[in-house]
């Protein structure tokens, strides 16, 4: 079997702890269970990458505002934020793991992500 390696797939997940990263990709989607819109940010450096989803909900807005402010983009009432503005921005994140109960399988799942932006 031959397996093609696409751009960015050659990297491993970042180690836990503080990491200086660049935002290299943003993908949009909706959550599997509640259809909440989100954007997934790929934080990357020469050692690896980590993905983090930012949910567009009242509970998720503090994390979204925090991300934009960390890269120097002001979030003001009445202003629209464009996720494309995040591409290429450098920042320091804290990488860690978070466990949660999968609502479909009722099994515990663990994700590696940027823990700076967790709201719960």
The length of the chain is 120
What residue has token string 């997934």?
40
For residue 6, the tally of other CB atoms under 10 A from its CB is 6
pLDDT tens figures, 36-81:
999 999 999 999 999 999 999 998 999 999 999 999 999 888 889 9
Rounded-to-integer distance, Cα 5 and Cα 10, Å: 7
Name the pLDDT band for 85 (thresholds 50, 70, 90): very high
Name the pLDDT band for 120 (thresholds 50, 70, 90): very low
Which residues make Cβ contacts (< 8 Å) with residue 3, sequence separation at least 6? none
pLDDT tens figures, 13-36:
899 999 999 999 999 999 887 899
């Amino acid at each position: 079997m031959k397996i093609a390696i696409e751009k960015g797939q050659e990297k491993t997940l970042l180690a836990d702890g503080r990491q200086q990263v660049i935002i290299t990709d943003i993908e949009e989607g909706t959550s599997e269970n509640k259809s909440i819109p989100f954007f997934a940010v790929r934080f990357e450096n020469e050692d690896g990458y980590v993905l983090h989803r930012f949910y567009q909900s009242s509970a998720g807005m503090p994390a979204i505002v925090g991300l934009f402010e960390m890269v120097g983009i002001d979030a003001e009432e009445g202003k629209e934020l464009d996720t494309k503005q995040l591409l290429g921005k450098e920042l320091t994140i804290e990488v860690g793991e978070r466990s949660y109960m999968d609502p479909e399988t009722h099994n515990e799942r663990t994700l590696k992500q940027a823990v700076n932006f967790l709201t719960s």
